[in-house]
Structure 1
Amino acid sequence: MITKMNESNSFPSLRRFPAEWERHDCVLLAWPHEETDWNYILPDARRCIAEIVKALSVDECVMLVGPAELCLPSIRGQGFDPKRVKFVDMPTNDTWARDFGALTVEVDGSLRLLDFKFNGWGLKFAADKDNLISSRLAGLGHFAAPMENRLNFVLEGGSVESDGEGTLLTTAECLLSPNRNGQWGREEISAYLADAFGFTHQLFLYHGALLGDDTDSHIDTLARLAPHDTILYCGAGEPENPNHAELLKMQEELTTLRTPTGMPYNLIELPLPDKIEIDGEVLPATYANFLITPTRILLPVYGQPRKDFLAAQTLKIAFPDHEVVAIDCTPLIRQHGSLHCVTMQFPVGAVAGIENGMWIENNSLD
């Protein structure tokens, strides 16, 4: 996994992108407010985010960001435990922490935060404030690990999956998007990702685009890496589902992928939610957009009891020792995202002000 010379150019550095199921310091989220696209369903969006925060804060810390004058009164009204939940005042465009949040790597055994450019999923939406959140958090002293400026490259956290052992799972539609890093082809992008993350085994999917997906097929809506060479993926559903044909092609593509040792992956099929359509628009609902913590899995569900239950049971195949916590993410899908999209985890040692799983600094929620 030797990928990059250090600053003195005297010896190569060893990089590793931790798997999501490894130990966390905390999880970052942004609170919805009136000046975001959530304003028309703001109470529903806040209830959903609050449920995610409460589920996380059972056994780990949470950091919430947003403009204080628009967010703090409603956050205080939730009654979050200030020992577990901390608020940081700063401007935000939206709530998609997975995509504007810094990505954490190990470099020669120490943590480092990578701050990539976030341009609103290929210049689709305003992102000027969200693109600055990671650097602002660093400037305010909220990170214990140093930050590495990677703003010459557009990358969203939802587009990359890691097993913690050098494997990348991603999609060509997103990473090769001309409005992200259009000057580079797959070979150049693969070399860059190997340099930044230490990826030695890179898997690109070319199928699976969901209708209504603004991200250009983020991998976290389609297929997720799990321990023991396992991939959980979005099944194709019923033939009448408008995503059926494309997801069937993705399933066939997944059967051709091989581990670094040349073996097929263990493939576990998640159900595909029934079509959710609002005002004639098909929304990209998926059970693959779950968040893995060291002890729990937060699963987005959509008011479809049979499939919601089946998705939870399926996750237990890959994570038998994890508790699965179902959270109704119907409000989130109305803005074309889900649970994983609004969260970004930071490994232990990345965040300042945490001791024994609690915030030890002064907290505006006290």
Structure 2
Amino acid sequence: MVVGQIADDETTATLKRTLAPEWALQSGVQLTWPHAGTDWAYMLPEVTACYLRLAYEIATRETLLIVAPETEAVKRLIDEQLPKRATAHIIYKTCNTNDTWARDHAFLTMATTEGPELLDFRFNGWGGKFEASLDNAINAHLVEGETPVLKGKYVDCLDFELEGGSVEVDGLGTLLTTSECLLNPNRNAQLDKAHKEALLKERLGVNRVLWLDHGYLAGDDTDSHIDTLARLCPDNTIVYVKCTDKADEHYAALQAMEQQLHTFCTADGKPYRLLALPMANAIYDENGERLPATYANYLVMNNVVLYPTYAQPDNDEAAAEVLHKAFPGRDVVGVDCRALIRQHGSLHCVTMQYPKGVLPQTFSD
């Protein structure tokens, strides 16, 4: 077993029903594929190349689910570009989509003593910024019919707006999130903080919520998703983005975030082990807008951590070293995500992992 891995019987040792942490044993990962009807249309070849690399890195290790309006065309492309050892582990689901941010429109999966539960929260395009009705319907398509793509108990949570990138859990009762996102009036405005926290505890099976009140990334559309700033890791560890350049526009906010992280304690009152990720050097689009490049936007899989790189060798290497410390025993593999940040997201934003028992097992034990 990989160091930091949570076995099936250990995942719910403390709680009988809780949102599975990302490092729990997985059955696979979802990608929602870019197409000409998305905002990627102007740079479709560039972003498709990034997705092909992601598909390879995922499907050579775990089952990969690809969702797209025209899956036959995607399958032809993948069969041409990727080796059989990857294509043999890809399954496809055809349905209409607005965009590609699987982290935020896909199911959140609960680990329970009765098997997985698939929680379907409402996705409203990050507070109504973008049309998202098709993406909000993807989950229903994945569990419909006599042979659903995903296995697990479907749970309708469409009365509450919640994106996967906005919450981090440790599987032991703690949830980490940001005030800027979950308390924003563009989501669930009818509820105050106390009601939102109570609902998070009840729906996600946690018993405490850590609210991060500082930190942001320029160019971010999500209202400061936690997965761009700070991430819970095994063994009472938090990795976070640290800015050391006083001239950088993020310096004050990220310094305040770091100070607040130092005040957080584990459930048994001990300080967290904090590991600082480097701040990526500024990257701008053709209009001079700074893009939200962050090393916190990584994906944990069973035996590997896939993390975004930005053609900044020193920073890319430093980020890999931190992730090796946070997830000992796993490989750490970089994927160039300069294409993804052009639409204001990165690697974690376009993926969603599913715990064991949800996706078909395509690898032999």
- Paired residue for 2:5? none
Q: Which amino acid aligns with 1:45?
A: V
CA contact (8 A) 1:93 1:126 kept: yes
Could you report, residue by residue, the CA deviation over 1:183-204 in whole angstroms, capped at 9, with x for unpaired residues?
1111101110111111112101
Counterpart CA distance in 1 for 2:113 and 2:69 is 36
- For normalisation by structure 2, the TM-score amounts to 0.91
Task: Give the number of equivalent residue pairs.
Answer: 345
Counterpart CA distance in 1 for 2:119 and 2:271 is 31
CA contact (8 A) 2:56 2:82 kept: no
- Paired residue for 2:358? 350
CA contact (8 A) 2:231 2:296 kept: yes
- Paired residue for 2:302? 294
Of the structure 1 ranges 154-163 and 72-81, higher mean CA displacement relative to structure 2 is found in 72-81
Counterpart CA distance in 2 for 1:208 and 1:323 is 29
- Paired residue for 1:79? 82
**RMSD in angstroms over aligned alpha carbons?**
1.5
- Paired residue for 1:117? 122
CA contact (8 A) 2:79 2:87 kept: no
SS at match of 2:263: coil
% identical aligned pairs: 45
- Paired residue for 2:3? none
Could you report, residue by residue, the CA deviation over 1:7-43 in whole angstroms, capped at 9, with x for unpaired residues?
xxxxxx9321111011111100011111111111111
CA contact (8 A) 1:61 1:357 kept: no
Deviation at 1:108, TM superposition (A): 3.5
- Paired residue for 2:58? 56
- Paired residue for 2:138? 133
CA contact (8 A) 1:172 1:204 kept: yes
- For normalisation by structure 1, the TM-score amounts to 0.91
Matches within 5 A, 1:212-361: 212-278=219-285, 279-351=287-359, 353-356=360-363
Q: Which amino acid aligns with 2:97?
A: T
Deviation at 1:56, TM superposition (A): 1.1
- Paired residue for 1:177? 184
Counterpart CA distance in 2 for 1:78 and 1:129 is 28
CA contact (8 A) 1:241 1:274 kept: no
SS at match of 1:150: strand
Could you report, residue by residue, the CA deviation over 1:218-245 in whole angstroms, capped at 9, with x for unpaired residues?
0000000011110000001311222111
Which 5+ residue runs of structure 1 have no aligned equivalent?
Answer: 1-12, 359-366
Deviation at 1:319, TM superposition (A): 1.2
CA contact (8 A) 2:174 2:206 kept: yes
Which 5+ residue runs of structure 2 have no aligned equivalent?
Answer: 1-14
CA contact (8 A) 1:32 1:71 kept: no
Counterpart CA distance in 2 for 1:49 and 1:248 is 34
Counterpart CA distance in 1 for 2:328 and 2:16 is 31
Q: Which amino acid aligns with 2:39?
A: D
Could you report, residue by residue, the CA deviation over 1:301-348 in whole angstroms, capped at 9, with x for unpaired residues?
000001000000111111121100000000000100000000000001
